[in-house]
């Protein structure tokens, strides 16, 4: 018996994963970024294979993580979360600079930025789990608080696209608590 309600109680953050392919940049909203080991500093990130950012990371083997500020406006999140970089250049009108790995470091609505080099990829059928070594990290806004996924969902009334690793297939509130076996 799987009660889906239980899965909403796992805690996540709100991040933009960014990467590059040749001279192009792309990025998308992710929730599943987590430290795996403290020494060396390794992180894991799960990303849908359909996302263009997955394609870019697979090509360049590097990615960045913008830890979003609680004050990030929905328009900014929507730009990275609900559009594909195939149709639009998401970095237009976004302040950024090139990091040591070559990925774009996002300066807007970001409290900290991490750069990582992929050391291993795990095929999870619909998603890729990237295992990566942190090679750089820096505070961007020392006064900001990180936005949690709970804050995005409950306070900002944000939604989750179906391709997200943390998506749970609940079509309506009445389905919460529905039991599957």
Residues 87 and 65: their CA atoms lie apart, in Å, by 22
SS3 155: coil
Number of other CB atoms surrounding residue 123 within 10 Å: 9
What's the token pair of residue 22?
């040749």
The one segment of 56-64, 72-80, 83-91, 148-156 that binds a second copy by CB under 8 A: 148-156
Question: 3-class DSSP state for residue 174?
Answer: helix
**List 22, 23, 39, 75, residue binding a second copy (CB under 8 A):** 39
Q: Does 135 bind a second copy (CB under 8 A)?
A: yes
Residues 46-85 close enough to bind a second copy by CB under 8 A: 46, 67
Report cis status (omega within 30 of 0) of the bond before 55: no
Candidate list 19, 127, 130, 132; residue touching a second copy; CB under 8 A: 127
Q: Which two tokens stand for residue 105?
A: 């470091």
Please report whether residue 167 would count as binding a second copy according to CB under 8 A: yes
98 is a contact residue toward a second copy (CB under 8 A)? no
Within its chain, how far is the Cα of 138 from the centroid?
17
Residues contributing to the site for a second copy (CB under 8 A): 1-7, 9-14, 32-39, 41-42, 44, 46, 67, 100, 111-114, 120, 122, 124-127, 129, 131, 134-139, 146, 148-150, 162, 164-169, 177
């Amino acid at each position: 018996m799987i009660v889906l309600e239980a899965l909403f109680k796992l805690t996540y953050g709100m991040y933009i994963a960014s990467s590059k392919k040749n001279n192009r940049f792309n990025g998308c909203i992710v929730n599943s970024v987590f430290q795996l080991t403290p020494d060396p500093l390794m992180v894991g990130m799960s990303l849908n294979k359909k996302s263009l950012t997955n394609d870019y990371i697979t090509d360049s083997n590097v990615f960045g993580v913008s830890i979003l500020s609680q004050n990030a406006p929905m328009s900014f999140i929507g730009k990275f979360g609900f559009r594909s970089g195939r149709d639009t250049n998401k970095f237009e009108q976004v302040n950024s600079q090139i990091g040591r790995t070559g990925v774009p470091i996002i300066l807007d609505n970001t409290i900290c930025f991490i750069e990582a080099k992929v050391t291993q990829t795990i095929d999870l059928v619909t998603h890729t789990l990237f295992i990566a070594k942190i090679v750089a990290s820096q505070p961007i806004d020392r006064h900001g608080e990180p936005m949690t996924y709970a804050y995005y969902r409950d306070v900002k009334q944000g939604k989750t696209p179906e391709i997200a690793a943390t998506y749970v297939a609940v079509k309506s509130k009445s389905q919460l608590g529905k039991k599957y076996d």
